[in-house]
Amino acid sequence: MSEYSCFDIIGPVMVGPSSSHTAGAVRLGRFARAIAKELPQKVEILLHGSFAKTYKGHGTDLALLGGLLGMDTDDVRIRDSFRHAEEAGLIYTFTATDLGEGYHANTAKFVMTLSDGTVKEVVGCSIGGGKVLITELDGFPVEISGAYPTIIDTHMDQPGVIHMITGVLVDYGINIAGMKVFRQEKNTVAYMIIETDQCVPSYALEEIRALQPVLDVKFVKPF
């Protein structure tokens, strides 16, 4: 028999009428902000399925923007996300679209332009009860729940890289809760998603970042 917490039944503490359309949307925005590592200068948020049809009525647009601004699900400022975004100098647009088959009905795609001109893309969906699943990073398919501290590593696909990275975590006593590796072609760029039981200290991340095959490392706290 499956076990459920009270949050699976009644949902998270939040501002807004729907855990899927508001709490989940806030968490999607928070994850996009973590990937950007800054407040973007500009963002286009593409809304798919149910999100596209009901985002204004459910306040999904406010929630997505609030999360991108760093607000949490119970932050009353979410109601004024548009004003806070304008005060922060964030240029934003919402576009209802059809991303195609295979996407969850509550899916949002963030296309973010950063201060150095870099464009970062994050696709994720709200799957109910305030829970989310990140499904794409810069067009690369991934699976990230956000339930655990998460390392997002980009590296060249070559023998021994996984051993080197996980070896650093072993040296610092970091226990791995789950790990997945994604690549599109052999010997090109790969993503590795590592969920851990503890927050990973910055010096351990720097040691991973210094490894020769590693291209980028991001760390996202549970969201």
Domains annotated for the chain, with CATH where assigned, are 7-144 (3.30.1330.90), 150-220 (3.30.70.260)
Compute the average pLDDT of residues 15-25.
66
Give the pLDDT score at 97.
Answer: 97
pLDDT at 88 exceeding the cut of 80: yes
More confident residue, 223 or 167: 167
Band (10; pLDDT cuts 50, 70, 90): very low
Give the pLDDT score at 16.
Answer: 44
More confident residue, 9 or 87: 87
Give the pLDDT score at 191.
Answer: 92
Backbone φ and ψ of 85, nearest 5°: -65, -45
Band (21; pLDDT cuts 50, 70, 90): low
Give the pLDDT score at 2.
Answer: 44
